[in-house]
């Protein structure tokens, strides 16, 4: 009997950490390889098919829009069918979409494949992976979520490097096919390692969801909620307007595709550190201060891109500074929701924040491409992104150090 009681805690610990590693790998490979590799393909696609920059970047905009916009639907599917099933379906969908991208010969096929990639990416995003591990880490949930979220930053660093190398050595089609083959790793891990969520855990999840459903009406009328939501739109627009176009910007200034891909890798790799620093700043000061600092890093990065020669090695430092802001803004929705609206009954509010974030990320890439196509220069495009970052900064300043609402607010009817 004593031996049995020793084995059970070990099995529980093994289960928790194996699930954590699986969630990390899902975000590293299934989520990041498709999403963050796509901009590296834009130069070869525009050259091969004669597409404009806006037409190519619209594919990334579709993916980003779906990742944010499908959040409520993915949450419902997780409650209905379990995180394991949603993650498995999502990883398979991402793999299939990358195969289709390797066969695309026109915009219609390209956009259809990106639509499929967006659906799959939403199903392997931070939302279902967090719900997978949250019941297992009641005492260290924030650290656990932060750990798996670092997989996005690492994947963002590796994906452009791998894709850029494959495009140069094997061509665009083979590069997409290799990325699709990589999805086998998380798929096998999900099948072998992930346990089905227990009935008790699902019951708790449903109870918390029902308990928090009434917040929708309360949050919608809140000045604070909308100020944070709009600032997320502006900041997310700014960060993806740069991230999705930095490769096109640098190659257009005579920089080799490999060097441009390295800059993007540094940007995305530093975003992992930005998430950690952003979380630390939120703990020490506030989520608002954390987001303000992140927006400042975005602004410094944009100014650096506009004034520093792309041939200078300083461009990699600028990409890293921008990446710190990128990671901090990426972390902002849950940090704001938890601090200002509590950790209970916050699912609906966080879902709307993710929609705001998704709206900004999806429009950033498209608008930057449209401005470039009209002006023929990325100066105007990046200047607009800088203006959006400035708008987010001043809107956050307007909220003030001590907003009137820092706890879950009473009903409007009260």
For the stretch 291-320, pLDDT in tens is 999 999 999 999 999 998 888 889 899 999
Read off the tokens for 374.
């009209």
86, HSE (Cβ side, Cα atoms, 13 Å):
28
165, HSE (Cβ side, Cα atoms, 13 Å):
8
CA distance 405 to 200: 34
CA distance 24 to 146: 10
Task: Inform me whether the pLDDT recorded for 160 exceeds 90.
Answer: no
Task: Inform me whether the pLDDT recorded for 268 exceeds 70.
Answer: yes
> What torsion, rounded to 10 degrees, do the Cα atoms 270, 272, 278, 284 define?
-110
Task: Inform me whether the pLDDT recorded for 198 exceeds 50.
Answer: no
> For domain 1-210, which architecture applies?
Up-down Bundle (1.20)
Global pTM value = 0.67
CA distance 346 to 354: 12
Cβ-based neighbours of 411, under 8 Å, separated by 6 or more: 214, 217, 218
**pLDDT for the residue numbered 24:** 92
User: For the chain, what percent of residues have pLDDT higher than 90?
Assistant: 23
Q: Residue 137, exposed/middle/buried by CB under 10 A (0-12, 13-18, 19+)?
A: middle
Alpha-carbon distances, residue 160 vs 265, 269, 388 (angstroms): 6, 10, 26
Give the model confidence (pLDDT) of 25-82 as tens digits.
999 999 998 888 888 888 888 887 888 877 887 888 888 778 877 877 877 787 778 7
- Which range, 145-154, 177-186, 216-225, 324-333, is most confident? 177-186
Give the model confidence (pLDDT) of 80-132 as tens digits.
787 889 899 999 999 999 999 888 888 888 899 899 999 999 899 877 787 77
Q: Where in the chain are all domains bearing CATH 1.20.1250.20?
A: 1-210, 213-414
Task: Inform me whether the pLDDT recorded for 220 exceeds 50.
Answer: no
State which CATH number among 1.20.1250.20, 3.40.50.2300, 3.40.430.10, 1.25.40.20 fits the domain covering 213-414: 1.20.1250.20
């Amino acid at each position: 009997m004593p031996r049995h009681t020793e084995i059970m805690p070990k099995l529980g610990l093994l289960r928790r950490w194996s699930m954590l590693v699986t969630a990390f790998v899902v975000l590293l490979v299934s989520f990041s390889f498709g999403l963050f590799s796509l901009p590296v393909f834009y130069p070869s696609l525009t050259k091969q098919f004669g597409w404009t920059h806006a037409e190519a970047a619209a594919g990334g905009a579709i993916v980003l829009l779906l990742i944010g916009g499908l959040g409520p639907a993915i949450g419902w599917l997780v409650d209905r069918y379990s995180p394991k099933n949603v993650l498995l379906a999502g990883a398979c969908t991402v793999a299939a979409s990358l195969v289709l991208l390797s066969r695309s010969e026109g915009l219609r096929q390209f956009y259809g494949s990106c639509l499929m990639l967006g659906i799959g990416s939403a199903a392997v995003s931070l939302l279902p992976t967090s719900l997978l591990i949250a019941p297992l880490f009641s005492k260290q949930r924030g650290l656990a979520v932060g750990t798996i979220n670092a997989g996005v930053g690492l994947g963002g660093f590796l994906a452009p490097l791998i894709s850029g190398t494959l495009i140069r050595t094997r061509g665009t089609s083979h590069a997409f096919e290799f990325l699709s083959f990589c999805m086998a790793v998380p798929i096998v891990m999900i099948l072998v390692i992930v346990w089905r969520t227990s009935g008790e855990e699902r019951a708790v999840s449903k109870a918390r969801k029902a308990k928090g459903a009434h917040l929708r009406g309360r949050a919608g009328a809140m000045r604070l909620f909308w100020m944070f939501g709009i600032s997320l739109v502006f900041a997310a627009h700014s960060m993806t307007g740069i991230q999705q176009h930095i490769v096109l910007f640098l190659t257009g200034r005579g920089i080799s595709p490999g060097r441009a891909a390295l800059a993007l890798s540094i940007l995305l790799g530093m975003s992992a550190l930005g998430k950690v620093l952003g979380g630390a700043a939120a703990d020490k000061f506030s989520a608002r201060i954390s987001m303000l600092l992140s927006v400042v890093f975005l602004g410094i990065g944009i100014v650096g891109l506009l004034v520093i020669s792309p041939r200078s090695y300083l461009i990699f430092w600028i990409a890293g500074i921008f990446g710190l802001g990128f990671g901090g803004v990426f972390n902002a929705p849950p940090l704001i929701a938890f601090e200002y609206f509590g950790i209970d009954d916050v699912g609906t509010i966080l879902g709307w924040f993710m929609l705001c974030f998704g709206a900004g990320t999806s429009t950033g890439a498209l608008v930057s491409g449209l401005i470039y196509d009209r002006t023929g220069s990325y100066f105007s495009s990046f200047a607009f992104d800088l203006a959006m970052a400035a708008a987010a900064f001043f809107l956050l300043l307007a909220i003030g150090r001590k907003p009137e609402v820092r706890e879950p607010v009473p009903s409007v009817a009260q």
